[in-house]
């Protein structure tokens, strides 16, 4: 590890002194698009105790920045959560560094399924209270007791079992574009709301069944499985490495994909294709479409699904109102949009539409 720190001293003195990016996002995006080499998008996480998150954060930044690695990393006392983009020619060096960290020797690196290498354009390493916000205040809860892992083959087999309940622990807009066959949606904008919603939904109905939980890369469903066990459920499982690892396994083992559609990802790609099925619809015209985008009006920036025709018609805006204010100064755009509930800047199906869905789920369990 020492040679990496030496390289950092020589190649990135400015970065070493401030330990964060000082170049504008627009410049960095342009530089990314002009790159002639390939990048690999990966994600990983690990629940393990970190005594000094700030010190660990700085150590990661110093070493990863010299590899020209981009991405978003959260560090907390409970562990690490990372989504990254690494130049292919530095990938082996990156793996060697990550696996040299105590506790990371057998760390699984999830390689992106549908990758154009343009997922991130800057390196951000932040210290957080939790690596995934869960809202848990129960001091008796811990991550040591968690559900059993299932791989792709086991997942497919369990999906055929009538005594198995498959629970999607992602947000409603992720479920909308792709999910496992017969998976239960816990319709919410936040993971912390979903945890208790899942308990309330299954309590008294599923104690004698197998509960399999899944998410994008494994971090949310692993914590959810521990929470379900903490709340008294017995037969709890979670998909190892999430949808990303599942997709890689079915390709490698030539298995049928029981995940249908697109996997939403939290980077510039906004999704990776798992199967050719398009199960969502344009939020403006209702045509089959599963392409997420952000409203071009920076005063709005709503995340929504938009087809090519509507993108052209509305100039990549979510509404006529945003289109009409698009050429106004940014501060004026924000002033006009002020006070409008955008549902955490996400197209929200609204709780009024979600209540019947929960009632329907209760009847089927």
Catalytic site positions: 215
Q: Are residues 132 and 223 in contact, defined by beta-carbon separation less than 8 angstroms?
A: yes
Q: At what angle do helices 219-230 and 191-202 cross, to 10 degrees?
A: 40
* Distance, CA of 290 to CA of 288 (rounded, Å): 7
* Distance, CA of 87 to CA of 85 (rounded, Å): 7
* Distance, CA of 104 to CA of 76 (rounded, Å): 15
Running DSSP on this structure, what letter comes out for residue 256?
P
3-state SS of 97-137?
HHHHCCCCCCCCCEECCCCCCCCCCCEEEEECCCCCCCCCC
3-state SS of 248-281?
HHHHHHCCCCCEEEEECCCCCCCCEECCCCCCCE
* CB atoms closer than 10 angstroms to residue 267: 21
Q: Are residues 213 and 238 in contact, defined by beta-carbon separation less than 8 angstroms?
A: yes
Residue by residue, DSSP assigns 221-238 as HHHHHHHHHHTT--SEEE
Name every residue whose Cβ is closer than 8 Å to that of residue 247 and which is 6 or more positions away in sequence: 113, 257, 259, 263, 272, 274
* CB atoms closer than 10 angstroms to residue 122: 18
* Distance, CA of 135 to CA of 139 (rounded, Å): 12
């Amino acid at each position: 590890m020492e040679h990496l720190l030496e390289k950092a001293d020589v190649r990135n003195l400015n970065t070493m002194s401030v330990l964060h990016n000082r170049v504008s996002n627009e410049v960095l995006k342009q530089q990314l698009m002009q790159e002639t080499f390939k990048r690999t998008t990966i994600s990983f996480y690990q629940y393990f105790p970190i005594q000094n998150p700030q010190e660990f954060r700085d150590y990661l930044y110093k070493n990863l920045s010299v590899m020209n690695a981009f991405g978003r990393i959260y560090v907390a006392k409970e562990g690490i959560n990372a989504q990254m983009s690494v130049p292919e020619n530095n990938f082996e060096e990156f793996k060697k560094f990550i696996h040299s960290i105590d506790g990371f020797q057998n760390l699984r690196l999830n390689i992106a399924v549908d990758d154009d290498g343009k997922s991130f354009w800057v390196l951000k390493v932040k210290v957080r209270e939790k690596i995934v916000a869960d809202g848990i205040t129960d001091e008796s809860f811990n991550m040591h007791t968690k559900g059993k892992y299932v791989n792709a083959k086991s997942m497919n087999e369990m999906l055929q079992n009538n005594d198995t309940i498959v629970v999607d622990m992602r947000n409603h807009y992720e479920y909308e574009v792709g999910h496992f066959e017969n998976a239960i949606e816990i319709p919410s904008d936040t993971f912390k709301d979903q945890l208790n919603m899942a308990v309330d939904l299954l309590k008294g109905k599923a104690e004698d069944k197998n509960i399999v939980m899944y998410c994008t890369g494994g971090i949310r469903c692993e914590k959810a499985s521990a929470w379900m066990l903490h709340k008294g459920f017995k037969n709890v499982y979670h998909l190892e490495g999430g949808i990303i690892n599942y997709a890689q396994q079915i390709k490698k083992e030539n298995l049928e994909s029981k995940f249908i559609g697109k996997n939403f990802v939290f980077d510039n790609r906004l999704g990776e294709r798992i199967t050719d099925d398009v199960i969502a619809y344009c939020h403006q015209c209702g045509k089959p479409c599963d392409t997420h985008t952000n409203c071009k009006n920076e005063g709005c920036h709503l995340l929504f699904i938009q087809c090519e025709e509507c993108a052209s018609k509305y100039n990549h805006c979510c509404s006529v109102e945003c289109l009409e204010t698009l050429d106004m100064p940014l501060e004026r755009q924000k002033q006009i949009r002020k006070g409008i509930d955008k549902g955490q800047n996400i197209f929200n199906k609204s709780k009024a539409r979600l209540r019947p869905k929960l009632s329907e789920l209760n009847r089927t369990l």
